[in-house]
Amino acid sequence: MIGGNRPENVTASGGARMKETAYLLQAALISVWWVGLASSQAFFAAFQFAGVGPTAFWSFLLPDLILIAGLSLARAYRENATLEYIILGAMGYGALYCCNATLLTGSGLLPTGLMLLGFAYNGFLCFHASLFRPASTDLFWNVLKTAIQFVSIWVLTLLVIPYVLLDAFGQSIIPRIDAWFYLGVFLFVCCGGLGLASSYFIVFDGVGTPLPLDQTNRLVTTGPYRYVRNPMAVAGIGQGMAIAMIYRSPPILVYSLLGMLIWHIVVRPIEERDMLKRFGLPYAEYRSRVSCWIPTFGRIPEQ
């Protein structure tokens, strides 16, 4: 028993609330995005394809607001799997359109990337229950998979996406060397070290990898996990904010903060629900002692 409720009841209700919040957030972000397009020429220009006129772009306004934002809002207040699949299909159509436009024009990496991320986001919402599985217990393969995951995720989130944002908003990829640059580099190195240290304890103490798709076989409460529940998320967000400092880039800062928000309200509840199901009371007690974001240096959790 946890707080008077059975764990399965707690996790089920938590999962339902997570989806409601996730779809509500999606509806809000899409609406705000269209407002930004209408109110800022620089913002509008960042999402254009060369040779595709504004009329063709604005023709997606009603489909976006009705099929994605509108149905996301409806799904936020009514549990309906059919709505989820319709939204996923609409996102998939938009993503394919953008991919084709990028291939034809050699431009539009930002809108295409955004649609692909949106498609992945909705795919996660539809099929998250089948994505979580324990990793193998073979140390060599876990180390190898963790290394591949690290390189892939760092290249995508800390190199490719920041480059696309800098290019789309007309910022130079050569940073100005000043105090902000050195502060950003320092933060990037510290957060990178935190991420690497966390992955070490995930692999060797948790017998798994950092990705929930290939998760640990044991509950990890050692190393950085002794002080904060999600040090790898803290590290990743910190590195994104460090890059924003290095380039003094508001778009990269917004990207980092949105990543933190989405991770906190969408990924974290699903991951915690899965861990509560697998590890039970020990995880519930650990979660009650250790903060998600703020390190508990002043009070060392029990082992």
**Per-residue pLDDT tens over the stretch 33-83:** 999 999 999 999 999 999 999 999 999 999 999 999 999 999 999 999 999
For 11-17, what is the mean pLDDT? Answer: 59
Q: pTM value?
A: 0.88
Q: Provide the pLDDT confidence category of residue 130 given band limits of 50, 70 and 90.
A: confident
Q: Provide the pLDDT confidence category of residue 298 given band limits of 50, 70 and 90.
A: low
pLDDT tens profile 170-200: 999 999 999 999 999 999 999 999 999 999 9
Closest-CA residue to 275 (of 264, 284, 285, 267) = 284
Q: Locate the domains of the chain by residue range.
A: 1-130, 133-303
For 129-140, what is the mean pLDDT? Answer: 78
Q: What is the DSSP string of 95-110?
A: HHHHHHHHHHHS--HH
**How much is the pLDDT for 62?**
95
CA 234 → CA 71, 191, 195, distances in Å?
32, 8, 8
Look up the CATH number of domain 133-303. Answer: 1.20.120
